[in-house]
Homo-oligomer: A and B are copies of this chain.
């Protein structure tokens, strides 16, 4: 029964915060719940974090740090593709991240490094400055937007899509939303349907288009 509950530290606080958010969502991450998870009292946290806002900024930067950096100088298409798959995986692992990114506007070091690498590979791939801007905007709009859509799907991501589709379908009269009904019954309800599987299709379509446009 010795107390392995050693001293607090910024590191431990951040780790615990991520764990809570991963497990129960951003809403469950309060200064009180965070303190409880660390067997401490709320006010103790303020020695490692100025306020909750700063905590959230730190979480966002931590998420960017998890994303694979593209290798500057490598084949731009391959590197960007790898990075995008990684980004999607990371954002899926931390479903709360996207909501945060939207709000926070002061990028941390990992975030800046990340952008720097992306700009680097694109420039290295022969894109002009304006074209780099276009490409990066399109790519990230797609990646973030796709994850955003997944997040706002009424179902979790598995194949419970079927049930949800059914329950929604029931709610409206026969002819109300004909195309939605067709889509739900003849596509979504098919075995093997999985929204997330469309990610690479779109990504490759966009990368191809960018390769041609450059």
Contact = CB atoms under 8 A, between A and B. Distances in A.
A39 interface: no
A129 B209 contact: no
A107 B140 CA distance: 26
Given A154-B105, A205-B213, A208-B209, A134 B180 contact: no
A186 interface: yes
The residue in A72, A148, A168 that gathers the most chain B C-beta atoms within 10 A of its C-beta is A148
The residue in A101, A138, A141, A182 that gathers the most chain B C-beta atoms within 10 A of its C-beta is A141
A117 B176 CA distance: 11
Task: Quickly give the copy total for this chain.
Answer: 2
A7 interface: no
Nearest to A201: B134
Interface string A146-184: 101101111000000000000010001000111110110
B195 A205 contact: no
Contacts of A138: 142, 198, 201-202, 205-206
Contact of A148 (B72, B106, B145): B145
A120 interface: yes
17 contacts: A72-B179, A105-B152, A113-B177, A119-B179, A119-B182, A123-B179, A133-B187, A133-B198, A134-B198, A137-B195, A137-B198, A141-B141, A141-B142, A141-B202, A145-B146, A205-B209, A209-B209
B179 A107 contact: no
The residue in A102, A117, A153 that gathers the most chain B C-beta atoms within 10 A of its C-beta is A102
A116 interface: yes
